[in-house]
Chain A
Amino acid sequence: MHIPDGFIDAPVAAGAAVVAAIGVGVCLRGARRTLDDRTAPLAGLVAVFVFAAQMINFPVGAGTSGHLVGAALAVILVGPYAGVLALTVVLAVQALIFADGGLTALGLNVLNLALIAGLVAWFVFRGVVRVAGTGKPGIVAGAWLAGLLSVGGAALGFVAEFALGGTAPVSLAAVGGAMVSVHVVIGAIEGVITALVVWSVATVRPDLVVGLRAPAVASSERQAVAA
C-alpha cells in the first residue's frame, strides 16, 4: 500500500510529513524510556523481518496482490513505540534505496503504515487480551483482529488523504469503496500471519512479547527476573 509520488498533492503530503515527524519523535522518546537490553535487539530484528516479509506479495484474486504490512506484528512483539520506529526504518529504506513508495510521499506512508496501523493494532490487541485473556484464544483473536484492522486503518488513512489532496478528479466514494474491499481481504491474511508469528513467539517465550505484559507491573517484574 506504499503511496508513490504524485497521488496526493504537495500541501497534504507536507502536512502528513509534519504529523509523521511529530509521531516518530514521540516514539523515539517512548522507546528510549521503555526499551531495555532484551527488547532492543528484538526491535532491530522486527525491522529486518518486516522488510523481508514485505517483499513477498501474495495473490488475493482479481489480478491483485498484497503483502504483509507488519505494523501489528511489530507493535505486539516490541511495543507501540519501538514497533512504529521499526516500520519507519523499513519505509525509509524502501523509499530511499529501492524507490518503493515515493520520497515526497514518505510522510504519508509513515503516517498510514507505521503510525495509524501501529496504533490501531496496539489498542485492538490490548483490548482483546484484556477481555479474552492471554491464553491461546485471546492471543490468536487479538493478533488476527489487530492485523485486519491495522490494514483497514491504513487504507482509510489513504482515503482521507485522497479526499484532502487527491490529484485525480475521480469519485471519492468509488476509491474509498475499492480501497476498503481489497484491503479487507489483504487484512484478513495480514491477521493470519500476525497471529501465527505472535503465537509462535508467545508459545516459546511469552515474556518476550511486550503486548502481553501488564504495563503497571512490567518493570518490577523485569527487575525481579533480572535479580
Chain B
Amino acid sequence: MKQSTTRAVAAVVIVGMVASVVLAGLVSFYASPQPDGLEAVAQDQGFADRARDSAATDSALAGYEVSGVSDERLSLGLAGVVGVGVTTLLGFGLFLVLTAGRARTPDPQA
C-alpha cells in the first residue's frame, strides 16, 4: 500500500511537472495579450496611470522576457522555464523543510 502510494505521488508529480514546463515554456506564447481584469478596470475607470514600476523592473526577467534575447517566443518560453525552475526549488524546498525529520510519521493530532 505504502509503495503504491509513493509511486502514485511520483507519477502525479512527473505528469504535473511536464505539464507545467509545456504550459510555461510553449503554450504561454499563445496566451491572450489583452489587459487582465484589474488592468482593464483601471484603464476604464481612469486610474491605470497610478501604477508605478516596482523595484524589480530592472530584473533580467522582468515582464517575462529574458533581457538580451530578441526572439519573442524564445524569450518568453525561456522566462517561463526559468520561473518553473525557481518555483520548483522554492516550492519543493519549502515543503521539504516543513516536513523534515517527521516525513514518515504523520502527527496523530493532525
Contact = CB atoms under 8 A, between A and B. Distances in A.
Interface of A: 1-7, 28, 31-38, 40-49, 51-53, 55-60, 62-67, 82, 85-86, 89-90, 92-105, 155, 158, 166-168, 170-171, 174-175, 178-179, 182-183, 186, 201, 204-205, 207-208, 218-220, 222-223, 225-226
Contacts of A186: 37
Contact of A55 (B64, B92, B103): B64
B95 to A, nearest CB: 4
Contacts of A92: 90
B54 A58 contact: no
Interface residues of B, number: 71
Contact of B34 (A33, A52, A64, A222): A64
B59 A98 contact: yes
Nearest to A60: B37
Q: Which of B6, B83, B95 has the most CB of A within 10 A?
A: B95
A34 B110 contact: yes
A48 B103 contact: no
B81 to A, nearest CB: 9
A55 B28 contact: yes
A97 B96 contact: no
